[in-house]
Chains A and B, each alone.
Chain A
Amino acid sequence: MMPLTPETLPRHELAGLDVEVVAAANPDAIGIAGTVVTETTKTLGVEGTDRVWHVPKDAATFRFDLPAEGDSESQSVRVRGSNLVARPARRTEATGDSKWR
Protein backbone atom coordinates (compact mmCIF):
# COMPACT_ATOMS: atom_id res chain seq x y z
CA MET A 1 0.00 0.00 0.00
CA MET A 2 1.17 3.46 -0.87
CA PRO A 3 -1.49 5.61 0.69
CA LEU A 4 -2.11 9.26 0.28
CA THR A 5 0.45 11.12 2.42
CA PRO A 6 2.04 14.56 2.24
CA GLU A 7 4.96 12.90 0.44
CA THR A 8 2.91 11.06 -2.17
CA LEU A 9 0.24 13.71 -2.70
CA PRO A 10 1.79 15.36 -5.80
CA ARG A 11 1.78 11.96 -7.49
CA HIS A 12 -1.59 10.86 -6.18
CA GLU A 13 -5.20 11.39 -7.23
CA LEU A 14 -6.37 14.85 -6.19
CA ALA A 15 -10.03 14.54 -7.15
CA GLY A 16 -12.21 14.03 -4.11
CA LEU A 17 -9.90 15.94 -1.75
CA ASP A 18 -10.95 19.08 0.09
CA VAL A 19 -8.69 21.97 -0.76
CA GLU A 20 -8.26 25.69 -0.15
CA VAL A 21 -6.27 28.21 -2.15
CA VAL A 22 -4.02 29.79 0.47
CA ALA A 23 -1.89 31.98 -1.79
CA ALA A 24 -2.20 33.06 -5.39
CA ALA A 25 -0.95 35.65 -7.85
CA ASN A 26 -4.58 36.55 -8.46
CA PRO A 27 -5.96 37.83 -5.14
CA ASP A 28 -9.49 36.84 -6.16
CA ALA A 29 -8.43 33.19 -6.11
CA ILE A 30 -7.26 33.29 -2.49
CA GLY A 31 -9.78 31.66 -0.22
CA ILE A 32 -11.45 29.54 -2.88
CA ALA A 33 -12.31 26.34 -1.06
CA GLY A 34 -14.15 23.17 -1.84
CA THR A 35 -13.63 19.70 -3.26
CA VAL A 36 -11.40 18.92 -6.21
CA VAL A 37 -13.70 17.56 -8.91
CA THR A 38 -11.73 17.93 -12.12
CA GLU A 39 -8.18 18.50 -13.27
CA THR A 40 -6.36 19.56 -16.40
CA THR A 41 -2.65 20.01 -17.01
CA LYS A 42 -2.76 23.60 -15.79
CA THR A 43 -5.86 23.88 -13.62
CA LEU A 44 -7.66 22.33 -10.69
CA GLY A 45 -11.46 22.43 -10.72
CA VAL A 46 -12.64 23.17 -7.18
CA GLU A 47 -16.33 22.75 -6.43
CA GLY A 48 -17.48 25.26 -3.84
CA THR A 49 -20.99 25.72 -2.57
CA ASP A 50 -22.48 27.06 -5.80
CA ARG A 51 -19.99 26.66 -8.62
CA VAL A 52 -16.78 25.08 -9.85
CA TRP A 53 -13.71 27.33 -9.83
CA HIS A 54 -10.95 26.53 -12.29
CA VAL A 55 -7.83 27.62 -10.47
CA PRO A 56 -4.54 27.88 -12.41
CA LYS A 57 -2.11 25.57 -10.63
CA ASP A 58 0.98 27.49 -11.58
CA ALA A 59 0.27 30.71 -9.70
CA ALA A 60 -1.30 29.30 -6.55
CA THR A 61 -0.46 27.50 -3.33
CA PHE A 62 -2.99 24.94 -2.14
CA ARG A 63 -3.75 23.43 1.22
CA PHE A 64 -5.17 19.94 0.89
CA ASP A 65 -6.95 18.08 3.66
CA LEU A 66 -5.82 14.47 3.78
CA PRO A 67 -8.41 12.19 5.34
CA ALA A 68 -7.41 9.90 8.19
CA GLU A 69 -6.14 6.64 6.77
CA GLY A 70 -5.12 3.54 8.66
CA ASP A 71 -3.06 4.59 11.67
CA SER A 72 -2.55 8.16 10.52
CA GLU A 73 -4.70 11.04 11.64
CA SER A 74 -6.19 13.47 9.18
CA GLN A 75 -3.73 16.21 8.31
CA SER A 76 -3.36 19.11 5.94
CA VAL A 77 -0.53 19.73 3.54
CA ARG A 78 0.53 22.83 1.63
CA VAL A 79 1.61 22.29 -1.95
CA ARG A 80 2.92 24.75 -4.49
CA GLY A 81 0.74 24.48 -7.52
CA SER A 82 3.76 24.57 -9.81
CA ASN A 83 4.63 21.10 -8.44
CA LEU A 84 1.32 19.82 -9.77
CA VAL A 85 1.57 21.14 -13.32
CA ALA A 86 1.40 18.00 -15.46
CA ARG A 87 -1.17 15.96 -17.27
CA PRO A 88 -3.36 14.50 -14.55
CA ALA A 89 -2.73 10.87 -15.44
CA ARG A 90 1.00 11.49 -15.73
CA ARG A 91 1.69 12.97 -12.31
CA THR A 92 2.15 9.50 -10.84
CA GLU A 93 5.21 9.08 -13.05
CA ALA A 94 6.33 12.68 -12.79
CA THR A 95 9.31 12.22 -10.50
CA GLY A 96 11.51 10.46 -13.00
CA ASP A 97 10.32 6.96 -12.24
CA SER A 98 8.75 6.45 -15.62
CA LYS A 99 9.64 3.15 -17.25
CA TRP A 100 9.79 4.99 -20.52
CA ARG A 101 12.75 7.19 -19.80
Chain B
Amino acid sequence: MTPGGSEIARERIRRLHDLAREAAGDGNDERAREYVRRARRVAERNRLGLPRRFKRFTCDACDAYLRPSVNARVRLRDGHVVVTCDCGTQARYPYE
Protein backbone atom coordinates (compact mmCIF):
# COMPACT_ATOMS: atom_id res chain seq x y z
CA MET B 1 0.00 0.00 0.00
CA THR B 2 1.12 3.53 -0.59
CA PRO B 3 2.57 5.38 2.39
CA GLY B 4 0.03 7.32 4.35
CA GLY B 5 -2.94 5.05 3.71
CA SER B 6 -3.40 3.91 7.26
CA GLU B 7 -2.32 7.32 8.56
CA ILE B 8 -5.27 8.84 6.77
CA ALA B 9 -7.45 6.05 8.12
CA ARG B 10 -6.31 6.76 11.68
CA GLU B 11 -6.91 10.47 11.28
CA ARG B 12 -10.32 9.79 9.75
CA ILE B 13 -11.32 7.64 12.71
CA ARG B 14 -10.27 10.42 15.08
CA ARG B 15 -12.32 12.99 13.17
CA LEU B 16 -15.34 10.69 12.94
CA HIS B 17 -15.14 10.14 16.70
CA ASP B 18 -15.20 13.93 17.26
CA LEU B 19 -18.09 14.33 14.79
CA ALA B 20 -20.09 11.56 16.47
CA ARG B 21 -19.62 13.11 19.90
CA GLU B 22 -20.64 16.51 18.58
CA ALA B 23 -23.70 15.18 16.71
CA ALA B 24 -24.82 13.23 19.77
CA GLY B 25 -24.41 16.34 21.90
CA ASP B 26 -26.68 18.22 19.49
CA GLY B 27 -29.29 15.45 19.68
CA ASN B 28 -28.60 14.24 16.12
CA ASP B 29 -28.54 10.57 17.09
CA GLU B 30 -28.89 9.13 13.60
CA ARG B 31 -26.11 11.32 12.30
CA ALA B 32 -23.93 10.21 15.20
CA ARG B 33 -24.66 6.58 14.29
CA GLU B 34 -23.58 7.19 10.71
CA TYR B 35 -20.22 8.51 11.95
CA VAL B 36 -19.78 5.66 14.44
CA ARG B 37 -20.51 3.07 11.75
CA ARG B 38 -18.16 4.70 9.28
CA ALA B 39 -15.36 4.85 11.86
CA ARG B 40 -15.84 1.13 12.57
CA ARG B 41 -15.82 0.35 8.86
CA VAL B 42 -12.69 2.41 8.19
CA ALA B 43 -10.95 0.63 11.09
CA GLU B 44 -12.01 -2.76 9.80
CA ARG B 45 -10.99 -2.10 6.22
CA ASN B 46 -7.59 -0.81 7.29
CA ARG B 47 -7.06 -3.36 10.06
CA LEU B 48 -6.78 -0.75 12.74
CA GLY B 49 -7.99 -0.89 16.31
CA LEU B 50 -10.40 1.68 17.68
CA PRO B 51 -9.37 4.01 20.50
CA ARG B 52 -10.49 2.91 23.96
CA ARG B 53 -12.61 6.01 24.39
CA PHE B 54 -14.41 5.24 21.15
CA LYS B 55 -15.18 1.70 22.31
CA ARG B 56 -16.41 2.88 25.70
CA PHE B 57 -18.72 5.51 24.30
CA THR B 58 -20.37 3.55 21.51
CA CYS B 59 -22.95 0.77 21.62
CA ASP B 60 -21.82 -2.48 20.01
CA ALA B 61 -25.38 -3.39 19.10
CA CYS B 62 -26.96 -0.23 17.68
CA ASP B 63 -23.89 1.98 17.04
CA ALA B 64 -25.27 4.81 19.18
CA TYR B 65 -22.78 7.33 20.50
CA LEU B 66 -23.42 7.09 24.24
CA ARG B 67 -24.00 10.04 26.52
CA PRO B 68 -24.29 8.90 30.13
CA SER B 69 -27.63 9.88 31.67
CA VAL B 70 -28.97 10.96 28.25
CA ASN B 71 -29.09 7.78 26.20
CA ALA B 72 -27.11 5.46 28.46
CA ARG B 73 -27.08 4.50 32.14
CA VAL B 74 -23.78 4.03 33.87
CA ARG B 75 -23.67 2.03 37.10
CA LEU B 76 -20.70 1.17 39.25
CA ARG B 77 -20.64 -2.45 40.39
CA ASP B 78 -18.12 -4.45 42.29
CA GLY B 79 -14.94 -4.07 40.27
CA HIS B 80 -16.60 -3.01 37.04
CA VAL B 81 -18.71 -0.42 35.30
CA VAL B 82 -21.95 -1.40 33.60
CA VAL B 83 -23.07 0.77 30.71
CA THR B 84 -26.63 0.21 29.50
CA CYS B 85 -27.62 1.72 26.16
CA ASP B 86 -31.20 2.84 25.57
CA CYS B 87 -31.51 -0.15 23.21
CA GLY B 88 -31.00 -2.44 26.22
CA THR B 89 -27.53 -3.66 25.40
CA GLN B 90 -25.15 -3.77 28.35
CA ALA B 91 -21.39 -3.53 28.29
CA ARG B 92 -19.12 -4.21 31.26
CA TYR B 93 -15.72 -2.72 31.74
CA PRO B 94 -13.28 -3.23 34.58
CA TYR B 95 -12.23 -0.14 36.53
CA GLU B 96 -9.26 1.52 34.98
Contacts and interface: CB of A to CB of B under 8 A. Distances in A.
- Please say whether chains A and B are actual partners in one complex: yes
Contacts of A38: 31, 34
Contact of B45 (A11, A16, A92): A92
B83 interface: no
A3 interface: yes
Interface string B1-39: 110110111111001101100000000000100110010
Contacts of A13: 11-12, 15-16, 19, 38
Contact of A92 (B8, B31, B34, B35): B8
Given A88-B38, A93-B46, A15 B11 contact: no
A29 interface: no
B66 interface: no
At the interface, is chain A mostly helix, strand, loop or mixed?
loop
A92 B15 contact: no
A97 B47 CA distance: 13
B interface residue count range (under 10 / 10 to 19 / 20 to 34 / 35 or more) = 20 to 34
Interface string A5-31: 000100111011000000000000000
B41 interface: yes
A12 B46 contact: no
A4 interface: yes
A8 to B, nearest CB: 6
Interface string A27-48: 0000000000110000000000
A37 to B, nearest CB: 6
24 contacts: A1-B7, A1-B11, A2-B4, A2-B10, A2-B11, A3-B11, A8-B4, A11-B8, A12-B11, A12-B12, A13-B12, A15-B15, A16-B15, A37-B31, A89-B38, A90-B45, A92-B8, A92-B9, A92-B42, A95-B2, A97-B2, A97-B5, A98-B45, A99-B47
